[in-house]
Amino acid sequence: MPPRPHARRAVLVINNMGGGGAERVLATVANHLHGTLGWEVTVLTLQTGPVRYSLLPGIEVRSLHGGLLTVGAGNLLGVPFLAAELALFLRRNPADAVMSFLVRANLIHVLSAWFGNHRRIVISERCATDALYKGNGLRPRMMRWLIGALYPWANRVIAISGGVKESLVRLGVPGDLVRVIYNPQNLPEIAAAVGDVSAPRPARRPFTIVTAGRLTEQKDYPTLFEAFKRVCDQGLDARLVVFGEGPDASKLEALARTLGIHDRIDWRGWVASPHAQMAACDVFVMTSRWEGFGNVIVEAMACGLPVVCTDCESGPREILGDGEYGVLVPVGDSAAVAGAIQRLASDHHLHATLRDRGLARARDFDASRIVHHYVDVLTEPTVNVR
């Protein structure tokens, strides 16, 4: 597609475009900028790899040549080299706005100013960073220091929840530099996939619980599995559907066998658009130890599912309105998770009430209501002089 005359140009920088919440949000923002506002958009990845989310025709995807420096031991050592390459890329490919997503891309973006990038630096933080990099090991201490030292040099920092902003402030990022913008969701796409989910559903057996997220420590699947075993042992005819892949897959399958629930779990793997399959379930449960926002909570509500979620830092409490739109339970408390599932399985009025409240709440995060805030940030005057 030839460039449109006088169109604004944006470069969106991220580690890769594999499956993940940040990648989905970047695709949503890119598609809105290009398809709705007519911007020319380039998605620039630090690593080569598959693009797992749909981008509109005309959106260019390119990768930095130094991508191999972002894996393994080169994670941090490669940052200055990639910063220099990013600065060179932006000199050769002028853009009106540049925004990065995720910590490594953000650090590289900020450091690119030391290598001649004079454009406004907008970075987007996706997680409660002091929870992500906790402990006294060398790497978490270094990452906390780098964030506190380098993020203040950005012109604007976007936090995807109030909790993420608070974590950045604790690390030394000035609060007036940080703007909270919740993650946009493509609700028309979800609605097209699932159809009408507002009508009452007939009682079904087995009662089907669904969860979605990477198979990692962060998502705390052991607590969910223990809760699932409890409700099964208490006589509920139930199944668990798991969407996701990750490094803990084999360990979690072994745990499920040990708990005697493996035959009741449907392992669906990573699915780009699982919404139709989610809508066929009865309740969504997420037992994360920490989050930045929790895109899948909004997606589940848009699918007509009541939500049970741990009250972790950060995001879920903000999305669920302190428990008005879903059930919040303590982190790591399998008995509380099991109790919430049992209530929703037996109390049809509560199930319907939370379904209806969730559907209404999900609309607050529709891309049409959110993405213009990103545009405001990308086009605002410089607020911080490096």
Mind listing the pLDDT tens digit for each residue in 224-253?
999 999 999 999 999 999 999 999 999 999
**What span, in angstroms and rounded, lies between the C-alpha atoms of 155 and 106?**
12
Is 73 a residue whose pLDDT tops 50? no
Give the pLDDT of residue 132: 83
Rg (CA), the chain: 21
**What span, in angstroms and rounded, lies between the C-alpha atoms of 165 and 175?**
7
Residue-range domains of the chain with CATH? 9-184+367-379 (3.40.50.2000), 187-365 (3.40.50.2000)
Is 112 a residue whose pLDDT tops 90? yes
**What span, in angstroms and rounded, lies between the C-alpha atoms of 158 and 149?**
17
For 371, half-sphere exposure in the C-beta direction (CA atoms, 13 angstrom radius) is 20
Report helix, strand or coil for 163. Answer: helix
Instruction: Work out the number of other CB atoms within 10 angstroms of the CB of residue 227.
Output: 26
Instruction: Work out the number of other CB atoms within 10 angstroms of the CB of residue 176.
Output: 9
**What span, in angstroms and rounded, lies between the C-alpha atoms of 57 and 35?**
9
* Predicted model pTM: 0.89
Is 172 a residue whose pLDDT tops 90? yes
